[in-house]
Amino acid sequence: MIRDPTFCLFLLSPFCIRGHRSFLLLVSALLMIASVLMASAAHAHGYSAGSVRIDHPYALPSEVGADGQVYFRELRNRGRQPDRLLGAVTSRAERVELVNAQGEVVEAIEVLPGARLRLLHHQPVHLRLLGLTEPLRDGQRFDLTLRFERGGERSVRVYVQQPRGD
């Protein structure tokens, strides 16, 4: 029996594999765990602007000529002062509007202390991108600069993705 697992991997004789099956299972399990961790790390991206935490900004793919829509898994205010999202700019669109729960264009989106706003794509609140330079396509990423009253400006990367059903 060959005891050195590294040597075993290179040799790959049937006897060796049988002798180190548990080691090989462990290696494949670790590889699976690593790939899952890497996938979730790629998915989870977040930023801070003052006391506001901006979690996973994302956009839906858009049709030709249609407006873009930007959402957030969460906007969270971890501070003691209220803050307000006042607007945003991106090179991908002429203009960005803030849309409230009634579908109206508003001057600001309030993020009160302790608030955890889940601004997901099945809810009406979002950022509307008008005059897109080109349609947003699944898998693209683009930069968007958010402007908060207290937290100031923060550039975030928006992931364009098909809804995953949550």
Cα 33 to chain center, whole Å?
20
For residues 21 and 43, which CB has a smaller minimum distance to Cu ion in the complex? 43
Q: List binders of Cu ion among 33-92 (CB under 5 A).
A: 45, 56
For residues 96 and 156, which CB has a smaller minimum distance to Cu ion in the complex? 156
φ/ψ of 21, rounded to 5, equals: -60, -40
Token representation of residue 11:
């040799």
Q: Shortest approach of Cu ion to residue 116 CB, angstroms?
A: 16
Q: Shortest approach of Cu ion to residue 20 CB, angstroms?
A: 38
Q: Shortest approach of Cu ion to residue 155 CB, angstroms?
A: 15
Q: Side chain identity at 69, as an amino acid letter?
A: Q
For residues 118 and 150, which CB has a smaller minimum distance to Cu ion in the complex? 118
Q: List binders of Cu ion among 133-152 (CB under 5 A).
A: none
**Number of residues binding to Cu ion, judged by CB under 5 A:** 2
For residues 45 and 128, which CB has a smaller minimum distance to Cu ion in the complex? 45
Residue 121, interface with Cu ion (CB under 5 A)?
no
Closest residue to Cu ion, based on beta-carbon distance: 56
For residues 45 and 118, which CB has a smaller minimum distance to Cu ion in the complex? 45
**149-153: long-range contacts, CB 8 A cutoff, minimum separation 24:** 149/83, 149/84, 149/86, 149/108, 150/50, 150/51, 150/81, 150/82, 150/83, 150/84, 151/48, 151/49, 151/50, 151/51, 151/52, 151/83, 152/49, 152/50, 153/49
Q: Shortest approach of Cu ion to residue 70 CB, angstroms?
A: 13
CA–CA gap between residue 70 and residue 98 (Å, rounded): 10
Token representation of residue 138:
């699944």
Which residues partner with 117 through β-bridges?
Answer: 75
Residues that bind Cu ion (CB under 5 A): 45, 56
